[in-house]
Amino acid sequence: MQQLTYTGPYKLEWRDVDEPHLQADGAALVRPLAVATCDLDALIVAGVSPFQPPFAIGHEGVAEIVDVGDGVRSLQPGQLVSVPFQISCGACEACAAGRTANCSSVPFMSTYGFGPAVEQWGGFLADVVSVPYAEHMLVPVPGGVEPSTLASASDNLSDAWRAVGPALAEQPGADVLVVGGAAAGSIGLYAAGLAVALGAASTMYVDADERRRQTATKLGADTLAEKPRRLGPYPITVDASADPEGLALALRSTAPDGTCTSTAIYFAEQPQMPLLEMYTKGITFRTGRVHARAAMPNVLALTASGALHPELVTTAVVPWSQAPDALLERGWTKLVITR
């Protein structure tokens, strides 16, 4: 079968690899139909991620089940499913607590499309993908929703949900600030759209990029181009900027006893964090990898209900054969590659 492989900065090629087979009674094989770019993919393609080539790329997507093991009862071939980018068993202590990014049944950071275990699992831009814990990992796609609309539920949409969903459940109707712009910039936009969909009293999206601000407006958020020293205060803030100034803005703008979640990846220490102000205001600061499988049902349901419109963030939907050329183009926020 063919699998798209990252071979170096701005270099991608289709490679022939062995097709995976069912390895256990609880496993499944799926055929990706709609694969979305993650914000991290922009860094990978540019050669500025810590992951060294060559490796299979692609880790967000909707797929069709092509085969299941004898122990799989709740899923069947032909069914459309959303596939989390992280491998998790659903049964260990971490998974039972919803911490599916840290499943103890597989090597640490086992993911599709990048990471230390990518050779074992491959990427979604392939003809067939193996899913080891099918009944836990695979989430049926709601009827009536295009696969391309939900392609990012595997990662970026769920990453955005964890930044605003639990906090708005604790403080319904709270005001939300999102500082966006990290890499391709989709997570901040999704967070803004989710805040609006979940009933935030107001949602402010800050980003210097005009096109992303226009998208945020379509999602129902207010926007600001400049990064002032502080805004608000806001009970719920999100740093999706990967910019030290953006992180500081989100933290300074968090209200007393408020929550700031950073979805951004920082590859260096951030000594300018306003720790004294955070201490005196009693701010809760969260960062870390998303537990995608636990969050996915929330974004699928919101999209199916019509409250959330992830397709507004999509820059382009391109055919499968154009994947390498489309990924190498600059300036996209979210690409969706479909068969």
What are 177-217's pLDDT values in tens digits? 999 999 999 999 999 999 999 999 999 999 999 999 999 99
pLDDT interval class at 54 (50, 70, 90): very high
Over residues 79-95, the mean pLDDT reads 98
Break the chain into its structural domains and give their ranges: 2-155+291-338, 156-287
Question: Mind listing the pLDDT tens digit for each residue in 11-28?
Answer: 999 999 999 999 899 999
Question: Mind listing the pLDDT tens digit for each residue in 140-174?
Answer: 999 999 999 999 999 999 999 999 999 999 999 99
pLDDT interval class at 103 (50, 70, 90): very high
Pull the structure tokens for residue 108. 């640490």
Pull the structure tokens for residue 218. 């379509």
Over residues 56-68, the mean pLDDT reads 98
Q: Which residues pair with 139 in a beta bridge?
A: 82
What's the predicted TM-score (pTM) here?
0.97
> Pick from 61, 44, 50: which is nearest to 5 by CA?
44
> Pick from 294, 47, 267, 43: which is nearest to 155 by CA?
294
Query: What are the two backbone dihedrals, phi and then psi, of residue 317, each rounded to the nearest 5 degrees?
Result: -110, 120
Topology of 2-155+291-338 in CATH?
Quinone Oxidoreductase; Chain A, domain 1 (3.90.180)
How far apart (Å, rounded) are the C-alpha atoms in residues 182 and 173? 26
Residue 119 CB contacts under 8 Å (≥ 6 apart), including other chains: 55
Question: Mind listing the pLDDT tens digit for each residue in 294-336?
Answer: 999 999 999 999 999 999 999 999 999 999 999 999 899 999 9
User: Which helix H or strand E contains 14, and what residues bound it?
Assistant: strand 11-16
Alpha carbons within 13 A on the beta-carbon side of 285: 18
pLDDT interval class at 237 (50, 70, 90): very high
Topology of 156-287 in CATH?
Rossmann fold (3.40.50)
Alpha carbons within 13 A on the beta-carbon side of 74: 10
C-beta separation of 83 from 154 below 8 A = yes
How far apart (Å, rounded) are the C-alpha atoms in residues 279 and 89? 38
Q: Is the pLDDT of residue 272 over 90?
A: no
pLDDT interval class at 72 (50, 70, 90): very high
Pull the structure tokens for residue 245. 């100034």
Q: What is the pLDDT of residue 319?
A: 98
Over residues 273-279, the mean pLDDT reads 96
